[in-house]
Amino acid sequence: MTSISSANGYILIVLQMLVNTASSIVFKLQSKIKIDNQEFNHPFTQTLTMFFGESICYIIFLLYKSFNYSKYLYELELANKLKQETKINYLVVIIPTLCDLIASCLAFFALSLMPTSVYQMLRGATVVITAIFQVIFLKRVPTKHQILGMSLVVLGNLIVGITIYLKSTQSDYLIGVLFLCLSFFMFSFQVILEEKYFRKYYLNPFELVGLEGLWGLVFTSILLSIIEFIPCPSQMQSGCPQNSDGKYYLEQTIQFFQVVFSFHDKNYQPQLFLLIIAEATSILLLNSICMAVVKYLSALTKSVVQVTTIALVWITCLIIGWEKFYWGQLIGFIILVFGSLIYNNIIKLPIKCLEQQQKVESQQSKSENEELLN
């Protein structure tokens, strides 16, 4: 895996937190806009917009390759020294793309059925699933301080989750929780595949994100042509769009484009148009940054940073007035952030077994860097 300096690694982490927070707010703002007294819920077309944002990354990759060709050749030479393959069959990108498609559709449904901070909070479970997948597929066993950090992250999430659940009054929360839990497995499998690809192949982060976006546009378009005619189950109707006849369907693509892009339509919403642009832009930035985190740090670091982002999302929702303050949430967030800092080895606890292992890890990292320089 390619190495970067500690300072650049922290910059990537901070950028991921800020952009992730902004994208969550943008997604929730879309569903809060009402048309004919009905909330604007289009999870599948939101996924299509997301893939459009990702596909732009491939154009950026081509521009980078064109204007920095000498640097690109140097990276290929370095990849050969690291024994990475420099040619990849683009068909292998289909598998993580399908994982992203399923996980995103489920997550957008879940977001429409629960508060934004709850949505972000529950995503903390991806840390554990990603760690398990890393052991199975990458043969990488988490260290003791990583296990301690992940345990605290999970504990913090449980405290926040229980606090919010006891205060909630909506019955469709449980359906949203179910969808979100199902998305965890697909999301974790996706990031493990991406890390495996970065280990085996030389891939620019923009290249992989762009390829996933292009394949995603193809598969989401096919999916939209099918689900357009599938009625929405009664238990999920609060997260499904409604047509002019008052019936609920899993998706109403024509209605989506009329409201967002038909400037002369009576239901045209200019703020939705701006939010769609903001969504595509935030997805472009977020996926590029997250892919860089996976490439230069690890898939598990990406998951832990996303958990830490919950604090920023929660504070933003409090400022906007979407949610109320609960002490249980504050306690949970403190434990969650503390666990994330321990995992990233920023906070070093004076525990003998942890100190010994951290010294061994530091020596191994130093040896790997010296070997790479040689």
| Residue 36 pLDDT > 50 | yes
State the average pLDDT over residues 219-231. 83
Res 188: pLDDT? 86
pLDDT higher for 350 or 12? 12
Res 102: pLDDT? 92
Burial class (CB in 10 A: 0-12, 13-18, 19+), 354: middle
Q: Cβ neighbours of residue 370 under 8 Å, at least 6 residues apart?
A: none
Q: Cβ neighbours of residue 57 under 8 Å, at least 6 residues apart?
A: 205, 206, 207, 209, 210, 213, 284, 287, 288
What are the C-alpha distances in Å from 61 to residues 72, 199, 232, 348?
10, 19, 39, 38
Q: How many CB atoms lie within 10 A of CB 64?
A: 15
Measured distance CA(233)–CA(227) in Å, rounded: 12
Res 368: pLDDT? 44
pLDDT higher for 143 or 370? 143
Question: Picking from 59-73, 128-142, 287-301, which range would have the lowest pLDDT averaged per residue?
Answer: 287-301
Res 84: pLDDT? 83
Res 355: pLDDT? 55
Question: Picking from 119-128, 149-158, 206-215, which range would have the lowest pLDDT averaged per residue?
Answer: 119-128
| Residue 213 pLDDT > 80 | yes
Q: Which helix (H) or strand (E) holds 149?
A: helix 144-167
Measured distance CA(231)–CA(308) in Å, rounded: 37
Q: What are the backbone dihedrals phi and psi of residue 240, each rounded to the nearest 5 degrees, phi first?
A: -115, 150
Per residue in 6-19, is it b (16+ CB within 10 Å) or e — as a string? eeebeebbebbbeb
| Residue 330 pLDDT > 50 | yes
pLDDT higher for 340 or 92? 92
Res 211: pLDDT? 92
